[in-house]
Amino acid sequence: MKLSKTMRKLGWWTFALIWIPFLSLISLPPGDHAWPELPLFTRYCLGVSGVLGVTSTLLLVGAPIVSAIHNQTILINGLPAQATILKMSDTGTTINDDPVVRLLLEVQPPDRSPFQAETERLISRLEISQFQRGTVVQVKYDPDTRAVALLDDADF
């Protein structure tokens, strides 16, 4: 989950930085310009903007993919446990009008000491009442990294 968070933050930063090189276009006289007619500095700035644009797109699109792969790996290889929801917060992301929420969990493995872990999950607006503070949910966790993935009802 740390990798996907880092990718998302870097994606937004590179997206914001795209616009700085565009300031070089302010000094251009109006009209059409062929690429060779553009000043070298302007061509350089447009190239940097293009690289930043591609980078931010890859990071922002790749972050949820990396997160999904990580969750699937935990669901396949992880150990089962129960967890209590300590806190639920909005990530600001919605997919098809359903929120992606961040859950702080206290995981209680059967043979180890309890620990706290954070995970993100897309939750249907109709199911939000099932993910309130104090609710006990089924999870799988990686004992080495303590990363957690929530089980769906179909996964029991």
In tens digits, the chain (156 residues) has pLDDT values of: 678 888 989 999 999 998 888 777 777 778 888 888 888 888 888 899 999 999 999 998 898 888 889 889 999 999 999 999 999 998 888 888 899 888 999 999 998 899 999 988 888 989 888 889 999 999 999 998 899 999 876 444
The domain limits of the chain are 2-73, 79-155
Picking from 152, 141, 130, 134, the residue whose alpha carbon sits closest to that of residue 107 is 141
- Helix segments in 19-91, DSSP class H: 40-77
* Exposed/middle/buried for residue 74 (C-beta within 10 Å: 0-12, 13-18, 19+): buried
As given in the structure block, the two tokens for residue 50 are 């293009």
Does the model's pTM come out above 0.75? no
Picking from 155, 84, 82, 95, the residue whose alpha carbon sits closest to that of residue 121 is 95
Q: Which CATH architecture has domain 79-155?
A: Beta Barrel (2.40)
Picking from 86, 80, 26, 18, the residue whose alpha carbon sits closest to that of residue 52 is 18
CB of 86 closer than 8 Å to CB of 104: yes
- Residue carrying the six token digits 């939750």: 123
CA separation, residue 25 to residues 43, 49, 115 (Å):
10, 12, 53
> What pLDDT does 153 receive?
63
Q: How far apart are CA 135 and CA 127, in angstroms?
A: 13
Q: How far apart are CA 88 and CA 42, in angstroms?
A: 47
Q: How far apart are CA 45 and CA 20, in angstroms?
A: 9
